[in-house]
C-alpha cells in the first residue's frame, strides 16, 4: 500500500523534481549506511526501503524521458 502511494506522489512531479528527490534519497541512503556501520541504526529495513524508492524514482524518470522523446 505504501509503495503505491509513493509512486502516485512521484508520478505527479516533473523530471527536475524527480531528480531532486533522487538526490535526497541517495543522501538519506548514505546517512543510513553510515549509521548502520556505526551501529546507531534502529531499523536496518529502512535501508531496503530507501533503495527501492531510489529504483522507483529512476524507473519513473526513464518513463518520463521516453514519453518526452515520443
CATH of the domain at 30: 1.10.287
CA–CA gap between residue 47 and residue 38 (Å, rounded)? 14
Question: Using a CB cutoff of 8 Å and minimum separation of 24, what contacts does 25-28 make?
Answer: 25/50, 25/53, 25/54, 25/57, 26/54
Output the tens digit of pLDDT for each of the chain's 70 residues: 578 898 899 999 999 999 999 999 999 999 999 999 999 999 999 999 999 999 999 999 999 999 988 7
What is the number of domains present in the chain? 1
CA–CA gap between residue 59 and residue 61 (Å, rounded)? 5
Q: Which three cell numbers stand for residue 63?
A: 518513463
pLDDT score recorded for residue 1 = 53
What range does the domain containing 23 cover? Answer: 2-69
Amino acid at each position: 500500500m505504501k509503495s503505491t502511494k509513493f509512486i502516485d506522489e512521484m508520478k505527479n512531479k516533473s523530471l527536475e523534481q524527480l531528480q531532486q528527490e533522487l538526490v535526497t534519497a541517495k543522501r538519506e541512503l548514505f546517512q543510513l549506511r553510515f549509521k548502520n556501520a556505526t551501529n546507531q541504526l534502529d531499523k536496518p529495513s529502512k535501508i531496503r526501503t530507501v533503495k527501492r524508492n531510489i529504483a522507483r524514482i529512476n524507473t519513473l524518470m526513464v518513463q518520463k524521458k521516453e514519453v518526452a522523446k515520443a
